[in-house]
Structures are given as structure tokens and as C-alpha cells.
Structure 1
Amino acid sequence: MSYDLSLLGWNDLRAADLPTDTVPARVSRVDRGAAEVIAADGQHHAKYGARVRRASATDPVALPCVGDWAALRWLPEGRYELDEVLPRSTAFVRGGVSRDSVGGLSGDGQGQVLAANVDVVFVAEPSMHAADFADLGRIERLVALAWESGGTPVVLVTKSDLFDDGLDDLLADVRTAAPGVAVHAVSSLLGDGVELAAGYLGGSRTAVILGPSGAGKSTLVNALAVGEVMETQQVRAGDGRGRHTTAHRELILLPGGGLVIDTPGIRRIGLYDIGEGVDRVFADIEELAQRCRFGDCGHTSEPECAVLTALESGELPERRLESWRKLQREAAWMASRTDARLRKEQQNKWKVITKEMRRSGRNRP
């Protein structure tokens, strides 16, 4: 089967980065040491070449991921090798953050690319998760990372058919948590809102769907694809949590045009190289901060703090301020971890250089 790569997003700008004697392909799925790719002459299983292995040995972000464009090189034994990952136009990266045994943050400061060359980031949040409403803090975190990726975030409040009353109020709360971001209620089973989601795609535009297990991501993919392309499961009875139906990220071509990347459920996602994304999500707090008396106001106990004044008056919800503080702390922590890792790598590099210089000095006649 042959493919028109322009419908997958290939263009002249990408072609300019293609090395000689290679052919382009888009990564549809990754495995350990290899990837499933779509080239003009069909789909292939391509193992990583030496160039890719060397690059990813020091930086996991350099590993191929779903959505990447790659250069394939034909080998004498009659197969393609994934020789190089082409420059990404956008990349959704999560930080290597986890919780340690005492509940603190831990990690190596390195990131993992979840999806690349994505135009739209669908943040899927179920309208009712167990006995709770939408997790606004998770929405804020994912939208911040979506802005940072270079893609356009769109929040989809899924399973709206299960929400009996107060859906408009819920949508209003979500819009407050994601200012400037389009928010839509979607019921994939009934078809409500699916056309709105499909409207962000078409042509060669690519979307990635992110959210927790049980958010209905695979069901939405099936609705967009007008067919059963992804396995789905029901939410567990009792705790309302979803099962991990999708075990891997996968790029899916939609019959009406466009592409979508389904992802496994995300329990927790750490920030990575975050900056403007948090500022955009919390634009209301950033605007208030401009009115503070002191330019370096920490918004804790300083006099004439506009943020605290808004908090006391009820203009700014306490939950939102706490969420902002949490993401600011985590972003600063991740930045310090990244700086420490880079310093260590630089020190190791100079140790090797110094050792080689001493060795060559000893070997001089």
C-alpha cells in the first residue's frame, strides 16, 4: 500500500532537513529499539541506527516518538534502518518527576517526548470521575504543557451524557481553569461534540489526546475514525476508575482527513522546561501580580499585594492560587535538577578531556 506523505504532514520545509540517500517516514508507533513507520511505499518496522542510539544515550528526548518524522536508510540486507530523527516543529514533553517514598519530588531532570509534530492537544477530562467532578488542577497542568509544546490546547469534557445536572456550571469552571482555551462538552457514545472536535483536524493536521484512564480517549478516537480502531473498556464499578485500555501511543489516520495520537492514561505528568505555558494558564494571576506594590512580590504576606487582595475578596479562588504556587515550585525544582544534570555532564566531559591530555602528554617522546 502506498501513501501520499503530504496527507501525513510532509512538506518542503521538512524536506530541506532530509539527509541525502534517505527517504522520509512518519513514526506511528515505537517499540524498544525500533519503530513502526509510514513511508511512501508502505509501512515498515525500522530498527534504530547508530546515530539515533548515540543521541538518545545521553538525552532521552532524542529518542524517536510517535508523530516524529524520520530519515530511513536502506541497508544492503534489504531492510530500512531509522537513521535520524528530523527536527520537530512541536513536542509534548513531560519531565522525569515522580514521588519518592516519603512523598517528596524525585527525578533526574530529563524528559520524555510523548508526541511530536502535533498541531492540536486535546485535553480529555471526564465530566464525572467517580464521585468527583473534573480535576481542574490536572487540566491546568496539561494545558500548561500543551502551550509549552507549541500546539494549541483544546479541553474536551468527555462523557457529558453521564452528567445529569450542572454541566454548564462545570464548563464555566473549566474555562476559568484554562483561560483563552476552547472548551467543549463531548459524548462520544451519543456523537455530541464529536464534529466540533473533528473540526480542529482535517488535511494533514495532527492531534494528540491526553487525559487519565477512563476519560474516554479511545472511544473518542473511534468516533473520529467512524469505526472501531481502538479497543475500549468500561469504567470499573465501585471506584469509577478507568482501565488502561491503550498500552502504547499510536498514530491513526482518520478517513475524513487529519491524524490523531491516542495515548495511555496519565496518572501524573511532571513539568519539563516549562515557562510561558504556566504564565498563559494563570494569566489572571499574572495580570493581578502586575498591580502589586513590589515588583518581586511573593504573594504571601507583602503589603498592597493585588493577588492577596483578590483572594480575600473572592475574585481569585484559593484553589487556583494554590495550584499556581504548586506548578511554580515544581517548575523551579525541575529547572534546578536540569541545571545540576547539565553541570555534571559538563564536568564529566572535561574529566575525559583532561585524562586524554595527560595520557597524550605521557606518550610524548
Structure 2
Amino acid sequence: MSLSSLPGSFSSSSHPLVPYGWDADWESEFAPYAEQGLLPGRVVRVDRGQCDVITPVGTVRADTEFVVPRDPMKVVCTGDWVAVDPEGNDPRYVRTLLPRRTAFVRSTSSKRSEGQILAANVDHAVVAMSLAVELDLGRVERFLALAWESGAQPVVVLTKADLVPDPAVLAYLVQDVETAAPGVPVLTVRARDGEGVEELAALLGRGTTVLLGASGAGKSTLANALVGEEVMTVQATRDMDGKGRHTTTTRNLLTRPGGGVLIDTPGLRGVGLWDAGTGVGQVFSEIEEFAERCRFHDCAHEREPGCAVLAAAEDGELPVRRLESYRKLVRENQWIVAKSDARARADVRQDWKRKQAEGRAAGEAKRGRGPWPGVPR
């Protein structure tokens, strides 16, 4: 039997899974499973060990029992491409996951240092921030670090722009976010009347987009606008603090009328980093550039002599808030990596000892008892 005659074969844009992101590369990955008679599909929803999978023959309900690994990073997630049992099997099972191209991961609140995958195979990560409340730039930077680390292109969307009627104030807020998000598009939308939605849709293209943000950020309204129909329930936010309830309780994959798919997620109260060192560096790219001019290659940008980062902060080239946020995210990421990696944990301990020794040496130098650490006598 030829591959092109199998139910999962990719042959043209009319293939039933193309609207969900199926392409020739996915077909190549799936080829061994097609030979076994399995069907390709994309997970559109996961719920308590069961998942809804869109396949060439329609949406099926499948059990994930056969892909329950010890590694929580390999559990079935919305956005995954999978191989499922063909028609006639009851119950049907997800037999395997295809290798992920990207994965948006955060740390859980568990004390076991586990990561949680929020969405897989994502091209764009839209971070929704409400203008109904004071902007938390540190939270924007945290989301962006995870987005960059995932391999997706982040986009910041400032929702509820109608609540800021003064154009000058709105422009100032956008500029603030742009400073916190170098290299990232920042858009404003009024989702209820559609303003800014077409621009966002054009930017996202026909790929897969995950929608992220806290409860009350207007994600459900934005999802409805992007999908073109009322697919998500919308609840009012509290007037006192702009917070909302969890309108969305599961991660759902939805098709968009102009092409592409959207993964809507529940509101996120906590956004812990998960091995996101590269992402943090991308968010704070200007600090990384300053750091290249530091006297010491392992400069921690705390109190070391010849630190170009500290000099930039003192000269006003680098906002102090950005430096403090950078330090916080670097420390947090080092801690989560150390908790899950014994070697990294030993490196962090060694680094702490080095810094303590430098601190003591610096104190001695100030009292005239010796030079600064690393500075020749």
C-alpha cells in the first residue's frame, strides 16, 4: 500500500488536517505510524486522562493511558500531534506523540520541581495585558522569557484600550511596554468593537497561536474576536481591581476563519520560570550587550569593579527597574534549574561561595587591608 493512499497522507491543501497545521514535514514524521494503520491527529483538548483529537475522519475521543510517562514534560498536551487508533477500536488510544517543534512550559507550584506544558507546537505566543489595571511590566517580562524559551515568537497585546481615551497616555503606556519587550510587537486592541483585531490576525498569519494572560485580561473576548464567533464565555471583571474569574478552565484549540489555529488557556495566576535562561537573555538583550563589556566574564552585575551593566544603570542608559527585574528572573531561573539538576545545583553553591568570598575581600579592601577581588596588587 502506498503512503499516499493512507488516511493520514498529506497530498494537497485540501487535506482535512491542513487547517489545523498539518504539512509535509508532519507527514514525514508520521510515516512509520501510517504504515501501522494509525491515524494522525491534533489534540484540541485534554481532560483527566482523555483528549479530543481532530483526525482526517473527524474528532475522536481518545485515552492517553499508553503515553503516561514518568517525565511530566512528555504528557499529552493541547497542540500535540499524535497517532491514534483507527476506526473500529473501542476504546481508542493515543499511541504516541510526534516530536514537538516548540513547547510553552512553566514551573508548577509543586515542591517536586516539575514543569508544566501549557501548549505545544506553537508559532506565536500572545501575551494579553489589560489596560483596565496598572501595567505590571515585570509580569510582561516573565511571560516573554517563557515565550522566547519556547521557540515561539511573542506578541504583546494591550487589551481594553477603550479604557484609556487619552491618545497621549495610551502612547506612553505602549512605549513603556516596548521598553520592557525589545524586539517584540506591541499592539493595542478594542476587541469588543474589533479595533486592532485585523492587524493582530495579519501578524499571526496562518500558524498556531497560544493566548496567555491573567484572569480578567480579556483573553476570551480576544479569542472570540480572532475566531470570529462567540466560542468562549465572557465574564465581567471586578471594578475594584480589574480581576476576573476563570472563564476558560481548559486549554482549547480553535480554528480561525482566515487560517491558523488558536489555543486559549485559563487565566494564569502564577508564571514560574522553567529553565528559561536563554529566554531571560532575549528579554533583557540590552543588559546582555552591556555585559559583554564587563571586566570579568562571569560578572554577576551586583558590585563587581569594572561592571559595564552597573555603569549603564548609574549613567541612566539602563533603567534601574529593568536591572532589578533581570536580577530577579536570573536568580529564580538558577534556583529552579538547581532544584532539578544536581550538577547545576553544585554550580550555584560554588557561585554563592565565590560571591561570599568576593564580598569579604571587598570589605577588607575598603578597610585598607587588601585589593578588590580580581584586581592585581
Q: By percentage of residues, which structure has more strand?
A: 1
Identify the residue that residue 170 of structure 2 maps to in structure 1. 167
Give the superposition deviation at 1:202.
Answer: 4.0
Identify the residue that residue 86 of structure 1 maps to in structure 2. 98
Q: Report 1:114-125 matches (<5 A).
A: 114-125=118-129
- Deviation track 1:285-305 (CA, whole Å, cap 9, x = no partner) reads 111111222222221222222
User: Are residue 29 (structure 1) and residue 45 (structure 2) matched?
Assistant: yes
Q: Report 1:121-270 matches (<5 A).
A: 121-129=125-133, 132=134, 134-165=135-166, 166-203=169-206, 205-270=207-272
Q: Percent of counterpart pairs with the same letter?
A: 52
Q: Which amino acid in the other structure matches residue 159 of structure 1?
A: K
Give the superposition deviation at 1:308.
Answer: 1.2
Does the aligned pair in 1 maintain the 2:216–2:245 contact within 8 Å? Answer: yes
The CA distance in 2 between the partners of 1:124 and 1:75, in whole Å, is 40
Give the superposition deviation at 1:17.
Answer: 2.5
User: Are residue 111 (structure 1) and residue 127 (structure 2) matched?
Assistant: no
The CA distance in 2 between the partners of 1:235 and 1:3, in whole Å, is 41
Is the partner of 2:341 in helix, strand or coil?
helix
Is the partner of 2:114 in helix, strand or coil?
strand
In structure 2, the CA distance between the partners of 1:337 and 1:261, relative to structure 1 (3 Å rule), is same
User: Are residue 295 (structure 1) and residue 311 (structure 2) matched?
Assistant: no
Identify the residue that residue 41 of structure 1 maps to in structure 2. 57
Is the partner of 2:293 in helix, strand or coil?
coil
The CA distance in 2 between the partners of 1:78 and 1:127, in whole Å, is 49
Runs of 4+ residues over 4 Å off in structure 1: none
Is the partner of 1:88 in helix, strand or coil?
coil
User: Are residue 14 (structure 1) and residue 30 (structure 2) matched?
Assistant: no
Q: Which amino acid in the other structure matches residue 10 of structure 1?
A: W
Identify the residue that residue 351 of structure 1 maps to in structure 2. none
The CA distance in 2 between the partners of 1:164 and 1:76, in whole Å, is 58
Is the partner of 1:192 in helix, strand or coil?
coil
Q: Which amino acid in the other structure matches residue 272 of structure 2?
A: G
Is the partner of 1:74 in helix, strand or coil?
coil
The CA distance in 1 between the partners of 2:236 and 2:164, in whole Å, is 16
Give the superposition deviation at 1:37.
Answer: 0.8
In structure 2, the CA distance between the partners of 1:69 and 1:77, relative to structure 1 (3 Å rule), is closer
Identify the residue that residue 326 of structure 1 maps to in structure 2. 328
Does the aligned pair in 1 maintain the 2:72–2:115 contact within 8 Å? Answer: yes
- Deviation track 1:247-267 (CA, whole Å, cap 9, x = no partner) reads 111000112211101111111
Uncovered stretches (5+) of structure 1, i.e. residues with no partner = 99-105, 344-365
Does the aligned pair in 2 maintain the 1:28–1:66 contact within 8 Å? Answer: yes
Q: Which amino acid in the other structure matches residue 172 of structure 1?
A: Q
In structure 2, the CA distance between the partners of 1:47 and 1:3, relative to structure 1 (3 Å rule), is farther
The CA distance in 2 between the partners of 1:143 and 1:155, in whole Å, is 9
Identify the residue that residue 362 of structure 1 maps to in structure 2. none
Is the partner of 2:79 in helix, strand or coil?
coil
Give the superposition deviation at 1:313.
Answer: 2.1
Give the superposition deviation at 1:26.
Answer: 0.4
Give the superposition deviation at 1:75.
Answer: 7.5
- Deviation track 1:189-226 (CA, whole Å, cap 9, x = no partner) reads 121110111113344x1100101111111101111122
In structure 2, the CA distance between the partners of 1:296 and 1:202, relative to structure 1 (3 Å rule), is closer
Is the partner of 2:186 in helix, strand or coil?
strand
Moved more, 242-251 or 288-297: 288-297
Give the superposition deviation at 1:170.
Answer: 0.7
* Higher RCO by CA contacts (8 Å cutoff, separation 6 or greater): 1
The TM-score normalised by the length of structure 1 is: 0.85
Q: How many residues align?
A: 326
Give the superposition deviation at 1:273.
Answer: 2.0
The CA distance in 2 between the partners of 1:112 and 1:207, in whole Å, is 18
User: Are residue 71 (structure 1) and residue 83 (structure 2) matched?
Assistant: yes
Identify the residue that residue 312 of structure 2 maps to in structure 1. 310
Is the partner of 2:77 in helix, strand or coil?
coil
Does the aligned pair in 2 maintain the 1:121–1:209 contact within 8 Å? Answer: yes
Aligned counterpart for 2:74 among listed residues 46, 62, 70:
62
The CA distance in 1 between the partners of 2:86 and 2:145, in whole Å, is 40
Uncovered stretches (5+) of structure 2, i.e. residues with no partner = 1-13, 346-377
The CA distance in 1 between the partners of 2:113 and 2:162, in whole Å, is 40
The CA distance in 2 between the partners of 1:180 and 1:161, in whole Å, is 25
Give the superposition deviation at 1:107.
Answer: 2.8
